Every structure is written in C-alpha cells, then in structure tokens.
Amino acid sequence: MIVKTKSGEIEGAKEDLYYSFRGIPYAEPPIGKNRWLAPKPIKPWSDVKSCKEFGSICPQNELVYEQEATADYETGSNQNEDCLTLNVWSSDLNSNKPVLVWIHGGAYFLGSGADCLSDSEDICRDGKYVVISMNYRLACFGFLRLIDLTDGKIPSTGNEALLDQIEALKWIQANISSFGGDPNNVTLIGQSAGGHSIGTLLAMPDAKGLFHKAIVCDGGSETIQPKEEANRLALKLLNECNIDPSDVDAINSISTEDLKAFDAKMQDPNHPYTQDLDFATQAHAKPCVDGVHIPDEPLNLIRAGSAKDVSVILGTSDSEAFGYDEIYPGLREWNVDQAIEFEMRDWLRKSKFLKISKKSAREDIKKLFDAYEVHLTNNKMDSSPAECFLKINGHKWFWVSTIRLADALSKNSKHVYNYNWTFPGPHGSPYHGSSLPFFLDYVDSEVGKQMCGENESVQKLSVIINKIVENFLTSGNPNKSDDVPVWPTYDDSMESLLFAETIETIKDFNSSLRKSWDQVEEKIPGNL
C-alpha cells in the first residue's frame, strides 16, 4: 500500500486488520551539527520510501537497577541518533476517523514508539481510530541545554525532545488525512514520562492547536527543572569529557557511547553522581523552564488558560512505587528513623536549588509518615516503614502532581476528568503503569496478561474503559453513552472515578493524605 504524504510517497504493509506504516521520518536526522538543535522539518524525497519496519530508537541504557530488562524496554541493537520517526496504523485510508497519538514513557531516558503497541492484536480497536506513535530524543540526546555554556554557539534550550514531539504533531496535522485520520480530532495519550510530556505540552505555546484531547496516565506537569540546573548537568558532562564549553566541534564530536555512559551514571539512583546533593531533582536530563519554549512553570501557564480548549482525562495508580524495592537497597530492614533520614536527603537538595520559601524540616516528614501509617492501618494494609516510604514516594512523584494538574486545568475548563486506580491485578496491588493496558487496549496481549491478569473482572473493566475511550475520542466527553459509569467533571468538589474491583464516584480521594501534603512546601512533591 502506497500513500502520498507532503514529504513524498511511502509504502506500508497490509496486516490482518489494518494497514501499518512504520519508521516514517518526520524530521531531519538530529546528527552532526543538528545533534542538539531543534528538529528541522523533513526534506521531501523523490522515490517511494519503504516504511514497513520500526525505525531506529534513540540510544539508551537498560534500567541499571533492575536484574532483567522488562518487556517494554528491549533496547536491542537498533539504536541510532537518527531516530526521529513515527508509526501509523489505520484500517481505512479513505475515512475521517479520530486520531490517537501515543507518547511513550520511560523516565525520559528509555523507550520508543514501539513500546506497548507492537504486541496488540487490534491496535485500532475494531477500526475505530487511526493510531500513531513516535520516537523522540531521550536523556542527554534530547534534554541537554548548551545555549548558555556555549554563549549561543550551540543554541539548544534543553527542551529539544519536546520540540521533537511537537514536530511530529505538526507532521500529523499536515498528513494524517491521507491515512484516514481527522486532523481536527487528535487525542494524545501518554504514561509516566509520556504523561509528563503531555502535561508539559499543555503549557507550551508551540503545541497549541496541535491536539484537542489528552489522556494522561501517571504523569503531571512538574517533572521539569530550572535552567540553572540544566546548565549544571551540561557542565558536568563537559567536565566528564574534558571539553571546554567554547570548543563546539569537540562537543558535537562526543561519541554516542560516551553520552550513553554519562547518562547511565545520571540515571542510577545509587551512583555517587546522584548521591551528593548536586541536583535538586533526580539528576538525569529532563525538560527545563527555558523562558522561551516553556516560558514559566507549566502549572502557572495552565492556570492562566493555556489548555482551556483541551479536554483531559488524567489519573494515577494508588501505589505508584509498588515493587520499587530494588531502587533502595536494604529498604525492608529500615526502621522509621532510617526511612525519614533517607527521605530527608531529597528534601534538603530541593530546598537548596528550587527556591523553596521555607526550610523543610524533619518534623514535616515525620508528620507525613505518621499520616501514612494511620491511613494504611485503617485500610488494613501493611503499614511498615518500608511501605509508608514507598507509598509516600509514589504519591510524591505522581499522585500529588496529577491532582495539582487537575486543579490547574479545572480553573478554565469543564472538561477535566480525574481517575484513581486501585484495581489490584495479579500482583495484589496497583502499580506504576497498571492502568495503561486498559487505556491502550492490550490486556489480551502477552504483556497485558502479565500486567493485568486473566479473569472476568479484567475483561469486564476492559470493556468499560474501551467504551469510555471511544466516547472521549469521539466527543471529548467520556459520558457520551449510557453504557458507562457517570464520570463527573473535576472541579472544586474534587470528584473522581475510582477504578477498583467495582467502579464508583468518589469525592476527595485519600482526603487525609491530600491534606497532609497541603501542609508541605509545594516544591517538595511533584518534581522527580
């Protein structure tokens, strides 16, 4: 099957239920002098380009603290800095269907556009949507701010990865009608770093009008850093490579493997680089408030109305850090004082670098641990110091940020829908990403079965969420039909939908814990 795009003709493949077009370049390769620059629009080609295989993925390391690489992050050998491609699946090239764009997660240093989609039996949900995924630059390949250190000779702002996503969205606007998609009905869906990406795109002027709806799973708008911190990260890299900031040629010549090695150190929570309080947040590269592409803190821009025309579903699992024991050696033997001391380190470095107005104190952390111990005990759950610590950090990284994003969005919109995920699945607890197979409809794939289990309750929930997604993609309202639970819009009443063994509307989920976080300096939670 050959399709004509604005850039040239491409050839895809006919599969059982849909046409697939993989590895479509949407920007010029970010290599050589383009390595750290904003993406450049793809130049037209004359021959028919074969697009039957996924493109190369951004160079990356496996999770350094896991014993085995997970199925979602198979880094393999197809890594190359020439990675700016996207993938399209469509059942009908002559239609005008809603478009669903998947932005992958992976902490901004892992993953690709093939994650979660390559194993789905019916990626287009019975032909109802056109589905797209993309690769974007990761870690120091996509978030290295060099404009200040090089006096503008390398004008990278530290947000080039998000600009990649925006360039892909521009390509979609220009070309998706050729694949049977409606450019006026584009919905983004992302999880973890993909969710945080969307939470940031909602604030970025460059992204305005490029999408109309969003589903944010386990993400927010606060996984960002001040540009001063981005500059510190870049300087650390140059010092590591013994390169003077004025030597542009040497900077552009840093090898891919040396960049990966530096990223590996930054990504390891137990490496000395991330232990010495040099950085307010986890030291690996991430977006920054550059004053240009991200003019202000994203939540401030969203409160001011930057996303007022976008309908949003957003939510988190209630135990986002479930299973994260391997990140914290000896965690299960900690007493409460050890847990507090470890948590204190994060608060101290944030106090040092994030312009926090009051000194966060050990007493504040102790109050949080007390509140979580009571909450877990009252809910007949393990209330050990280790479980309190994991619950606190899961909420600190994701839940608090999601609630803040919902609050900010609701200031200007009546189309904000919050969910909380407590469906236990096969592990007896929700966890980071456990809602994603339902929203992306791959519960019946092998990976989905491992994540969700195989029973009647999984299938029942999957059917309901599929209908919710269909309603939302079609109209921006998950309540469009009578065969789904009523999902109230999020406002000052703080009503949300609780996805558990049963589905119910709940007001002010985890109210006592939210109130405890309200007493904490606002820059402590939210930012990874």
**Angle value at C-alpha 431, between 426 and 435, nearest 5 degrees:** 80
Mean pLDDT, the chain, whole residue set = 91
**Cα 294 to Cα 287: distance, rounded to the nearest angstrom:** 9
What whole-number distance in Å separates Cα of residue 230 and Cα of residue 243? 17
Give, in order, the Cα–Cα distances in Å from 496 to each of 270, 401, 446, 475, 488.
37, 15, 30, 19, 7
pTM above 0.75, yes or no: yes
Percentage of residues in the chain with pLDDT exceeding 90? 74
| pLDDT score recorded for residue 274 | 66
Rounded to an integer, the average pLDDT of 341-347 is 87
pLDDT tens for each residue of 485-518: 999 999 999 999 999 989 999 999 999 999 999 9
pLDDT (mean) for 106-112: 92
Alpha-carbon distance of 421 to 435, in angstroms, equals: 7
pLDDT at position 65 is: 46
Q: Of the spans 25-29, 231-235, 361-365, which averages the highest pLDDT? A: 25-29
3-state secondary structure 48-82: CEECECCCCECCCCCCCCCCCCCHHHCCCCCECCC
Tokens of 163: 């600009």
Q: What is the pLDDT of residue 445?
A: 87
3-class secondary structure for 195-257? HHHHHHHCCCHHHCCCCCEEEEECCCCCCCEEHHHHHHHHHHHHHHCCCCCCCHHHHHCCCHH
At 64-73, the pLDDT tens digits run: 544 333 444 4
Structural domains in the chain? 2-32+46-56+81-309 (3.40.50.1820), 324-518 (3.40.50.1820)
